[in-house]
Homo-oligomer: A and B are copies of this chain.
Amino acid sequence: MNIYDISKQAGVSIATVSRVLNGSPKVSPKTKEKVLQVMEQNGYVLNAFARSLGLNTMRTIGILCADASDIYLASAIYFLERELRKNGYASMLCCTGYHLEERQQYLQLLLSRNVDALFLVGSNFVEKSALKNSYLKEAAKKVPIFILNGSMAAKNIYSILCDDRQSILELTNSILLSGSASPIYLYRSLNYSGKRKLEGFLDACKSNGIASPSSRAFPCPPNIMQASVFLQDLADTGFYFDACIASDDELAVSAVKYAQASGRQVPGNLQITGYNASLLSVCSTPEITTVDNRVEFMCVTAVSLLMQVFDGKDIPAQTMFTGNIISRATTHI
């Protein structure tokens, strides 16, 4: 059942059928009615492939992320998909893992499906070496690329991100102001966002006269228990700290677990903060002070910017917004 069949039965040309299909105003109500009726009767469905071939678009956007099961990335995917759908675009999802080679390969997979644009969610997509990023620049020649929560300067590549440096800076300042004098910073990776957060911590320490701040920043093992043990070991070496600024909520949970296991009072003699305002931050007891980096806002904005690009408008290469500190029970702030 295609538009030829419909056109015959309705006694019109295929062009008219197509016009009805695309809601053209240049069809008489009567004709339109008739055509729709015939379509209805025959359970006609439009062939997306044929339409795509003509229009050279399938109104589909590719979403790349390292791991859709990550609680933060998952929420970003959710919001992106919702906004895209509102605008009539479908979402093609691809989880790349954390290796450059796979990222390149899966990006090709999406491009080969002729997506109209790409969203890269998470700052791990931007490598330090320009050479390793060249595949992105190459891809950007075909479709606009949006990097969410990461940044990279190149033609047809747009970045949108929370000012993580500023958030951690303010958070650390508040923690120091509220009585802590020996903060430590805990992180997992130093991708773009990771580096910015670390900068925020270091800068806050410096401006508050904390000695050798970089010796107070620690890379932590990935899982909750391991990270908790790591802190216990650190404390056992005699290294003193009275505040843990964690780069994400999961790491903050580890700190809470460490505190509970070693009998330290939170926030009494150990303040703890997380990042992302995820469900994890309220699952722990006490509930964790964290930073809302406005995933929903980021996604809504990103989609809105994409639509502007499609409309041929000129948009800024980078859009940065501020986060919001959510004070809870693990701090005095």
Q: Which residues of A does B touch, CB under 8 Å?
A: 45-50, 52-53, 56, 58, 60, 63, 67-71, 74-75, 77-79, 81-82, 85, 90-95, 106, 109-114, 224-225, 250, 253, 256-257, 260, 279-280, 282-285
Q: Decide if A94 touches B91 in the complex (CB within 8 Å).
A: yes
Q: Which residues of B contact A48 (CB under 8 A)?
A: 112-114
**Cα of A279 to Cα of B78 in the assembled complex, Å:** 19
Q: Decide if B114 touches A47 in the complex (CB within 8 Å).
A: yes
**Cα of A75 to Cα of B73 in the assembled complex, Å:** 11
Q: Decide if A75 touches B69 in the complex (CB within 8 Å).
A: yes
Looking at A67, A77, A112, A279, the one whose CB has the most chain B CB atoms below 10 A away is A279
**Cα of A53 to Cα of B52 in the assembled complex, Å:** 9
Looking at A256, A280, A284, A285, the one whose CB has the most chain B CB atoms below 10 A away is A285
A102 (CB) vs chain B CBs: closest residue: B85
Q: Decide if A74 touches B81 in the complex (CB within 8 Å).
A: no
Query: Contact partner of A113 among B58, B225, B260, CB < 8 A?
Result: B58
Q: Which residues of B contact A93 (CB under 8 A)?
A: 63, 77, 81, 91-93
**Cα of A56 to Cα of B154 in the assembled complex, Å:** 37
A57 (CB) vs chain B CBs: closest residue: B49
Query: Contact partner of A90 among B71, B113, B260, B283, CB < 8 A?
Result: B113
Q: Which residues of B contact A77 (CB under 8 A)?
A: 68-69, 74, 77, 93
- A78 in contact with B68 given A94-B85, A113-B90 (CB within 8 Å): yes
Q: Decide if B68 touches A58 in the complex (CB within 8 Å).
A: no
Q: Decide if A82 touches B60 in the complex (CB within 8 Å).
A: no
Q: Decide if B112 touches A46 in the complex (CB within 8 Å).
A: yes
The 5 closest A-B pairs by CB, nearest first: A74-B74, A69-B78, A69-B75, A49-B52, A283-B283
Q: Which residues of B contact A46 (CB under 8 A)?
A: 112
Rounded to whole Å, the gap between the CB of A248 and the closest CB of chain B is 12
Q: Decide if B250 touches A279 in the complex (CB within 8 Å).
A: yes
Q: Which residues of B contact A284 (CB under 8 A)?
A: 283-285
**Cα of A114 to Cα of B60 in the assembled complex, Å:** 12
Q: Decide if A49 touches B45 in the complex (CB within 8 Å).
A: no
Q: Decide if B224 touches A60 in the complex (CB within 8 Å).
A: no
Q: Which residues of B contact A109 (CB under 8 A)?
A: 85, 90
**Cα of A284 to Cα of B91 in the assembled complex, Å:** 34
Looking at A60, A78, A280, the one whose CB has the most chain B CB atoms below 10 A away is A78
